[in-house]
Amino acid sequence: MMKPLSSLFAKILSWFFLNLIIVAAALAVFFAFQPQVNLHAIFGDQGSTRLRTAGMLISHDLNQTTRANWSDVLARHAEIHQVDFVLVLEDESCFSSKDMDLPDAIKERVRHTLRQEFPPDRLTPPLYAPSNLQRDLKNHTVDDNVGLPKNRVIGGPSNIRPDVYYKKPHVMMRTQYPTRYWSGIRIPLFLEPTHPPVPALFFAVSDSVTGNGFFFDPLPWMVVSALVILISSLLWIPMVRNITRPLSRMTLATEEIAKGKFDVSIHEPRADEIGRLARAINHMTSRLLAFVKGQKRFLGDVAHELGSPIARIQFGLGALEQRTQGETKNRVTDIIEDVEQMSKLVNELLTFSRAEIQATAVKLEPTVLLPVVEAAVKREVPPETNIIVQIDPGAFVIASSALLTRALANLLRNAVKYAGEAGPIYVSAEKRKDEVAIEVRDTGPGVSENLLDQLFEPFFRPEPSRDRDSGGVGLGLAIVKTCIETCNGTVSARNLKPKGFAVTITLKA
3-state SS of 470-486 is: CCCCCCHHHHHHHHHHH
Query: Residue 285's domain is classified under what CATH number?
Result: 1.10.287.130
Asked whether residue 376 falls in the same domain as residue 344, the answer is no
Please tell me whether residue 260 adopts helix, strand or coil conformation. Answer: coil
Helix (H) or strand (E) run with residue 205 in it: strand 198-206
**433 to each of 74, 259, 288, 439, 509, how far by Cα in Å?**
76, 24, 34, 16, 9
Residue 327: exposure state from Cβ atoms within 10 A (0-12, 13-18, ≥19): exposed
325: Cβ–Cβ under 8 A, 6 or more apart, which residues? none
SS3 3: coil
Q: How far apart are CA 455 and CA 495, in angstroms?
A: 12
Instruction: Examine residue 24 and state whether it is found in any structural domain, yes or no.
Output: no
Query: Which residue, 311, 327, 354, sits at the end of a domain?
Result: 354
324 φ, ψ to 5°? -110, 160
Same domain, yes or no: 120 and 198: yes
**Cα→Cα distances 453→13, 296, 414, Å:** 42, 21, 17
Residues 340 and 470 in one domain: no
160 and 78 within one domain: yes
Are residues 453 and 403 part of one domain?
yes
CA 309 to chain centre: 62
- 75 with 174, same domain? yes
Segments forming the whole domain that contains residue 408: 357-508
434-450 b/e with 16+ CB inside 10 Å = b?
A: eebbbbbbbbbebbeee
Q: For 379-426, what is each residue's pLDDT tens digit?
A: 888 888 888 999 999 999 999 888 899 899 889 988 888 887 888 999
What amino acid is encoded at 422 in this protein?
A
Nearest of 396, 393, 406, 395 to residue 362 by alpha carbon? 406
Boundary (domain end) residue, out of 151, 183, 216: 216
CA atoms within 13 A on the CB side of 200: 25
Q: How confident is the prediction along the chain (509 residues), in pLDDT tens digits per residue? A: 445 555 666 777 777 778 778 877 877 776 666 445 444 444 445 667 788 888 889 988 888 888 889 999 999 999 998 899 999 988 888 999 988 888 888 888 888 888 765 444 433 333 334 444 444 444 443 333 333 333 333 333 334 444 444 444 567 888 888 888 888 888 888 777 777 788 888 999 998 877 887 877 777 777 877 888 888 778 777 877 888 888 888 888 888 888 777 878 888 888 888 888 888 988 888 888 888 777 777 777 777 778 778 888 888 888 888 888 888 888 888 888 888 878 877 777 776 666 654 445 678 899 999 999 999 998 888 888 888 999 999 999 999 888 899 899 889 988 888 887 888 999 999 998 889 999 999 988 888 888 887 888 877 776 654 444 555 567 788 888 888 888 889 999 999 988 899 999 999 98
Largest Cα separation within the chain, whole Å, is: 150
For residues 350 and 340, give the distance between their C-alpha atoms in angstroms, rounded to a whole number: 15
Q: Is the same domain home to 347 and 378?
A: no
Q: What's the pLDDT tens digit per position in 65-78? A: 888 899 999 999 99
